[in-house]
Amino acid sequence: MSKQYQDIIEFVRGLYNTTDFIPLHEPKFVGNEREYVLDCIDSTFVSSVGKYVDRFERMMAEFAGAKYAVATVNGTAALHICLKLAGVGQGDEVLTQSLSFIATCNAISYCGAKPVFIDVDRHTLGMSPDSLRAFLAAESVMTPNGCINKTTGRRLAAVVPMHTFGHPCRVDEIAIVCEEFGIPLVEDAAESLGSYYLGKHTGTFGKLAAFSFNGNKTITTGGGGMIITDDEVLARHAKHVTTTAKKPHSYEFVHDEIGYNYRLPNINAALGCAQMESLPRLLESKRQIATSYEQFFSNSGKKFVAEPAHATSNYWLNALVLEDYSARDEFLKELNDVGVMSRPIWRLMNELPMFADCQSDGLANAKWLEERVVNIPSSARL
Ligand SMILES: *Cc1c(COP(=O)(O)O)cnc(C)c1O
């Protein structure tokens, strides 16, 4: 093994003070998790009813500075309902980035819509407002039925940027483009709990946003998600359709539209309340780790992905930009072989068979990043 990999491996092992396997991201339960979960079991309220769901929603709304929060069974379900409530329906198209986790495109597909792929910025790894504006200016036409894609004749029903690895994209400028073209903005904020742009929490720039509390995210509820919005009508509707659309009644079962069983169980919300209490400490630790990596890699020829200008990142997953594809594969092999987990960024969505026929704007930056970006161990140390 060459000296450069030995040095990296030694550094990561020193950071986490272990020679055992080092995962990419593991959960940390150092607060009231056990107490709250046991309380659910002792009270028998482990499922769809209980006090922790409301409490978790209030904590999340307050933390993000949103008026309302609605808990869901996972982040994909949260994003599905955000899109549905933003008006995305059968035969529509949704502008998003091809550099994302599969859940973004899955949620779009659940609405009967198709993604259209817009390029990302190299420094934020998130949707480029310039590419979005260029695409809409050249390829769309405004009609009384909304903004229509000239090539396909379909309605462009939403714009969904994603804050990759917790680094905020230029979402304020994206919001301005959305305003200009009359398209609702829905943020996939699944990875960016604790990330801010221009002092505002990610997920508060558009109509609705989705968060995830999967096991590998900054905080976890086992599985879970959250919708946030400032719109009271949308918030009520989100609660209604994620809980089977049952009309409130003390004994009758009457449902007034097709609903979803997307509830977050109380026992998962209990975990969420305890995790929210620990969130400030988790974020502080993740920032320290990122700072150490940034210093270590500063004269290594590998570019550490640092938080963009005007942004505070949660540093959910630390990332490096390597020189090229061959350097990437060597890097991944050397680290994984000795139990220091590392993985490449996702395969672009337009390269998967389900989305291969979707329109795109060329995706020059997304392709460049796909060949070069790797993630390195990022768990908090508590
Ligand atoms: C994690 C994640 C989601 C939601 O995932 P779930 O596993 O369903 O909670 C959505 N979008 C992105 C970009 C994600 O990383």
Q: Is the minimum distance from the CB of 166 to ligand 1 under 6 angstroms?
A: no
| Nearest-angstrom CA–CA distance, 147 and 91 | 14
Q: Is the minimum distance from the CB of 188 to ligand 1 under 6 angstroms?
A: yes
Least confident of 150-159, 215-224, 321-330, 356-365: 321-330
- Residue by residue, what is the 3-state secondary structure of the chain? CCHHHHHHHHHHHHHHCCCCCECCCCCCCCCCHHHHHHHHHHHCCCCCCCHHHHHHHHHHHHHHCCCEEEEECCHHHHHHHHHHHCCCCCCCEEEEECCCCHHHHHHHHHCCCEEEEECECCCCCCECHHHHHHHHHHHEEEECCEEEECCCCCEEEEEECECHHHCCCCHHHHHHHHHHHCCCEEEECCCCCCCEECCEECCCCCCEEEEECCCCCCCCCCCCEEEEECCHHHHHHHHHHHECCECCCCCCCCECCCCCECCCCHHHHHHHHHHHHHHHHHHHHHHHHHHHHHHHHCCCCCEECCCCCCEECCCCCEEEECCCHHHHHHHHHHHHHCCECCEECCCCHHHCHHHCCCCECCCHHHHHHHCCEEEECCCCCC
Q: Is the minimum distance from the CB of 191 to ligand 1 under 6 angstroms?
A: yes
Q: Is the minimum distance from the CB of 74 to ligand 1 under 6 angstroms?
A: yes
300 pLDDT band, cuts 50/70/90, is confident
pLDDT digits (tens, 9 = 90+) for 94-142: 999 999 999 999 999 999 999 999 999 999 999 999 999 999 999 999 9
Task: Compute the average pLDDT of residues 341-370.
Answer: 98
Task: Compute the average pLDDT of residues 40-66.
Answer: 96
322 pLDDT band, cuts 50/70/90, is very high
159 pLDDT band, cuts 50/70/90, is very high
Enumerate the domain spans of the chain. Answer: 33-277
Q: Is the minimum distance from the CB of 129 to ligand 1 under 6 angstroms?
A: no
**pLDDT value at residue 307:** 97
Among 329, 303, 300, 330, which residue's Cα sits nearest to residue 318? 303
Burial class (CB in 10 A: 0-12, 13-18, 19+), 39: middle
Here the tokens at position 123 are 């420094």
Among protein residues, the one whose CA lies closest to atom 14 of ligand 1: 190
Among protein residues, the one whose CA lies closest to atom 5 of ligand 1: 75
Q: Please state the atom number of ligand 1 nearest to the C-alpha of residue 212.
A: 9
Q: Is the minimum distance from the CB of 100 to ligand 1 under 6 angstroms?
A: yes
Ligand 1 geometric centre to CA of 378 (Å): 17
Among protein residues, the one whose CA lies closest to atom 9 of ligand 1: 75
Ligand 1 geometric centre to CA of 78 (Å): 9
Total count of residues recorded for the chain: 382
Among 161, 147, 116, 132, which residue's Cα sits nearest to residue 358? 116
Mean pLDDT of the chain: 97
Among protein residues, the one whose CA lies closest to atom 13 of ligand 1: 101
Ligand 1 geometric centre to CA of 214 (Å): 7
**pLDDT value at residue 62:** 98
Q: Which strands make up the sheet holding 225-229, listed edge to edge?
A: 68-72, 225-229, 208-212, 186-188
Ligand 1 geometric centre to CA of 77 (Å): 9
Q: Please state the atom number of ligand 1 nearest to the C-alpha of residue 77.
A: 8
| Nearest-angstrom CA–CA distance, 193 and 322 | 26
**pLDDT value at residue 301:** 82
**pLDDT value at residue 270:** 98
Here the tokens at position 64 are 């993000």
pLDDT digits (tens, 9 = 90+) for 264-285: 999 999 999 999 999 999 999 9
Hey, what amino acid is at 278?
S
* Structural contact between residues 194 and 179, judged by C-beta atoms closer than 8 angstroms: no
**pLDDT value at residue 336:** 98
Strand 225-229 and strand 156-160: the pairing is unpaired
Q: Is the minimum distance from the CB of 161 to ligand 1 under 6 angstroms?
A: no
Among 300, 335, 323, which residue's Cα sits nearest to residue 373? 323
pLDDT digits (tens, 9 = 90+) for 214-268: 999 999 999 999 999 999 999 999 999 999 999 999 999 999 999 999 999 999 9
pTM, rounded to two decimals: 0.98
Q: Is the minimum distance from the CB of 101 to ligand 1 under 6 angstroms?
A: yes
To the nearest 10 degrees (0 to 180), the angle between helices 102-110 and 75-85 is 40
**pLDDT value at residue 299:** 83
Q: Is the minimum distance from the CB of 169 to ligand 1 under 6 angstroms?
A: no
Q: Please state the atom number of ligand 1 nearest to the C-alpha of residue 75.
A: 9
For the cut 90, the answer to whether the pLDDT of residue 294 exceeds it is yes
Contacts of 333 (CB under 8 A, 6+ apart): none
**pLDDT value at residue 325:** 84
For the cut 90, the answer to whether the pLDDT of residue 323 exceeds it is no
Q: What topology does CATH give the domain 33-277?
A: Aspartate Aminotransferase; domain 2 (3.40.640)
